[in-house]
């Protein structure tokens, strides 16, 4: 039974030791973030990030928690965070770089909906020119009624759920997503006002009929696809976000990396694989359609 615990499980499976330590550190730091979400102050931090969005205190705190924990491993060359303007070098002798969104969907916390943290891990010094495909692992935490940690490395996607002792225990191993979808999660539905193609795609889902499952937090909305083994999530462009809203490096690429291992697909609205888009800027945005492969194929046809 102890071999079902996160650190035992990953070491038993013979994954890269340093990478395993980074993953374990992220999951461990996530416990502090989960605690801060449950008990912390929701007041504004009085600062704003690169996009001029007000940072709530929890965004700033989560950023600090993950940064400090990753720094303490001495394994991380640099980090890039949604909450920081630039890449930060932590240890110029180290081999890994980690990009993360420390607290995605923080505006949902006061409504008590699920939020999460997302990580892209490269065995490379820095991020420029890297593609999603170059990652060595990706993972995320969902803070909901339960705290869940999901990681993808080599060809496996494994889900761990925190137990009453605070330990992460394997709850699903080798997650696979079916090619047909039962649900749809249409992000940026306001784009249908301007875009007939997106409007027609949404009508297609309604008529199938697929079931609507959308919270407004991408971590829970995409986690649902992995957890229920089917689904589609989209966030297309429109005039306010000509390249989409979501960020390539610390939001879309890690989910695309995980999706690929489950047999799901992740493309931009033109149908290009997210994993093939090179990073030119830390805060670069992309459109995204992710989920069950047959439904992604149809979505590409509707939008092109
Ligand atoms: P954030 O990183 O500022 O929290 O924004 C990302 C979130 C995603 O979780 C979600 O899919 C999206 O923003 C929803 O945005 P909107 O409600 O503007 O369509
Ligand atoms: Mg985010």
Distances (CA, A) of 112 to 57, 105, 106, 115: 16, 11, 10, 9
Q: Specify the pLDDT at position 57.
A: 86
The ligand 1 atom nearest the CA atom of 115:
9
Whether residue 1 is predicted with pLDDT greater than 70 in this model: the reply is no
**Ligand nearest to C-alpha 251:** 2
Give the mean pLDDT of 100-112. Answer: 94
Q: In 3-state terms, the chain is what percent helix, strand and coil (to 5)? A: 40, 30, 35
The ligand 1 atom nearest the CA atom of 104:
4
| pTM of the complete model | 0.95
Buried-state track 271-291, b at ≥16 Cβ within 10 A, e below 16? eeebbebebeebbebbbbbbb
Establish whether residue 244 lines the binding site of ligand 1, counting it when its CB lies within 6 angstroms of any ligand atom: no
**Ligand nearest to C-alpha 219:** 1
Confidence bin at 12 (pLDDT 50/70/90) = confident
Give, in degrees to the nearest 5, the angle at Cα 177 between 132 and 268. 40
Look up residue 294 and give its two tokens.
């047959």
Q: Specify the pLDDT at position 44.
A: 60
Q: Specify the pLDDT at position 162.
A: 97
User: Domains (ranges, CATH) in the chain?
Assistant: 6-173 (3.30.540.10), 183-303 (3.40.190.80)
Percent of the chain with pLDDT over 70: 94
CA distance 286 to 255: 13
The ligand 1 atom nearest the CA atom of 107:
4
**Ligand nearest to C-alpha 113:** 1
Establish whether residue 105 lines the binding site of ligand 1, counting it when its CB lies within 6 angstroms of any ligand atom: yes
Whether residue 55 is predicted with pLDDT greater than 60 in this model: the reply is no
The SS3 assignment for 159 reads strand
| Ligand 1 center to 105 CA (angstroms) | 6
Q: 122: which strand partners?
A: 97, 135
């Amino acid at each position: 039974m102890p071999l079902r615990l996160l650190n035992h499980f990953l070491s038993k499976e013979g994954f890269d030791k340093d990478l395993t330590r980074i993953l374990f550190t992220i999951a461990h730091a996530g416990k502090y973030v989960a605690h801060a979400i449950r008990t912390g102050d929701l007041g504004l931090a009085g600062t704003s990030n690169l996009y001029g969005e007000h940072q709530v205190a929890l965004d700033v705190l989560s950023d600090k928690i993950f940064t400090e924990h990753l720094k303490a491993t001495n394994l991380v060359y640099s980090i890039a965070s949604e909450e920081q303007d630039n890449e930060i070098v932590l240890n110029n002798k180290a081999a890994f770089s980690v990009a993360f969104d420390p607290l995605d969907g923080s505006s949902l916390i006061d409504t008590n909906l699920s939020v999460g943290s997302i990580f892209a891990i490269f065995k490379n010094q820095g991020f420029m020119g890297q593609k999603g495909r170059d990652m060595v692992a990706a993972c995320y935490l969902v803070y909901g009624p339960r705290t869940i940690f999901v990681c993808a490395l080599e060809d496996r996607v494994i889900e761990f759920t925190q137990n009453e002792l605070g330990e992460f225990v394997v709850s699903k191993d080798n997650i696979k997503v079916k090619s047909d979808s039962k649900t749809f999660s249409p992000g940026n539905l306001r784009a249908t006002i301007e875009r007939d193609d997106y409007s027609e795609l949404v009508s297609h889902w309604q008529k199938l009929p697929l079931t609507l499952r959308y919270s407004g937090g991408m971590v829970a909305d995409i986690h649902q696809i992995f957890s229920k083994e089917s689904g589609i999530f989209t966030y297309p462009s429109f005039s306010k976000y000509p390249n989409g809203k979501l960020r390539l490096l610390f939001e879309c690429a890690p989910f695309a990396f995980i999706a690929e291992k489950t047999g799901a697909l992740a493309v931009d609205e033109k149908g290009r694989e997210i994993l093939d888009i090179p990073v030119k800027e830390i805060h670069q945005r992309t459109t995204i359609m992710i989920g069950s492969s047959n439904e992604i194929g149809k979505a590409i046809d509707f939008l092109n």
